[in-house]
Amino acid sequence: MALSSTFTVLLISRFISGCGIGIGNMIATLYICEISPKFHRGVLVSCNMVLSNAALIISILTGILFESNGGGWRWMSAAASVIPLIQLFAVLFIPETPRFLVKKRDFEEARKVLSDIYPNSSNEFLDKEIEAIRSVIVEDTKGSYIDLIHYPNLKPTLIVTGVITLPEFCGFDTIMYYSTILLNMSGYSNVNDILKISLIVYGLNFIATVLGLLLVDRVGRRKLLLYTLFAAIIGLFLLGLAFVFITGFTTKQNTCSDYRNNCNGCLGDGRCVFSKQNGGICVLKNNLNLSDAYDSCPNNHLNVFVICSLAFSLMTYAAGFGNVPWLLQSELLPLNIRGRGVGVSTASNWVFTFVFAVLFLPLIGIITVSGTIWMFAIFTLLSWWFVFLFIPETAGRSLEEIEKLLAK
């Protein structure tokens, strides 16, 4: 990406790196789940999301550093390649999971890995763990993709696909992707100011992720999801309400002049700028007389409310729906379909991530900012009911116990 000479090369390289990120994300979650002690599995899987949020903060800091440099994105892309190189070297030294080793009948190596996972454990305990893993594998050696829709696998497959995909319908990732545009529509126009505010929002998001990490095993997966989703509904409602007062129910207009004296609606359209002429009017950006253009909408104190409600919404997501589904993904699926189920549900997540990322701006133009955010709030309410009706508590249970629970 850093060396791209044309836009086409940039898109191709971004597509390749995106495929690597998607596959790596799927494998990392599965690996952490299988290699972790059952009483610490939630914390360790959630660490993956904590580090992802830390990476967002680093990316914003890098953006601020190179914002004034026309070729700064090349340096950002080059810097991002360092981490995969470190991971490529480190992966040579990590062990296979006990479940994979037992499946390959390498019991001696499986015992060695288990003794590292559960130090100071007795031989009797290790034997029981290996036997528990082996008994499940013996029953499920003929797993295939078609088994995903057969009893008893259909229920966990549908639950996992639902809980992994629903966060995208709730719009949290999409709102995070377009947070800079939302801040611009709320009245901020200076790029450096927007990046600094985004840094604060992402920092709070990181803190909430750490909080979720500390609570996921104490409170339990189910309760944490129910509490945080309820709070997220409130946050999204308030965020939509803030934009009602700022932009009103303004849809995208055909021309800049159609916005008339609606400053925030005008600045939300990338083609337009708000001029001081005639008491304030929306004009095309390439207007020759832009010395009187507003950098932001005057006398607008509601943008602080936007920041607070935006941060609150993303924090509630980060503490619950942002990381717990990835833990449940690797906990709820039976061993014989776990790899395939994780692949299918992860693919579903990324597909709808792409769909909503593409649809977000058109939706704003059709049903307004507030309408789009409130649509996400409705999906969040439906997600709360989904969790309430279908998600069991898995904290403190072994993967084998969870499988038997879902088979009932």
**Spatial distance between the Cα atoms of 368 and 312, rounded to a whole number of angstroms:** 21
Q: Which residue, among 114, 144, 117, has the nearest Cα to 130 in the 3D structure?
A: 114
Amino acid at position 406, single letter: L
Q: Which residue, among 208, 196, 197, has the nearest Cα to 172 in the 3D structure?
A: 208
- Give the containing element (helix H, strand E) for 283: strand 281-284
pLDDT at 293: 62
Residue 297 has pLDDT above 90, yes or no: no
- Token pair for 10: 């940039």
Residue 306 has pLDDT above 60, yes or no: yes
CB < 8 Å & 24+ apart, contacts of 104-113: 113/35
Amino acid at position 75, single letter: W
Q: What confidence tens digit (pLDDT) does each residue in 188-222 have?
A: 767 777 888 888 888 888 899 888 888 888 888 89
- Token pair for 66: 């190179």
Q: What is the pTM of this model?
A: 0.74
Percent of the chain surpassing pLDDT 90: 17
Q: What confidence tens digit (pLDDT) does each residue in 379-402 have?
A: 999 999 999 999 888 877 777 677
In 3-state terms, what secondary structure has residue 273? strand
Residue 288 has pLDDT above 60, yes or no: no
361 versus 335: the higher-pLDDT residue is 361
* Domains, the chain: 28-94+140-252+300-407 (1.20.1250.20)
**Spatial distance between the Cα atoms of 133 and 399, rounded to a whole number of angstroms:** 9
Residue 217 dihedral angles phi and psi, to the nearest 5°? -90, -25
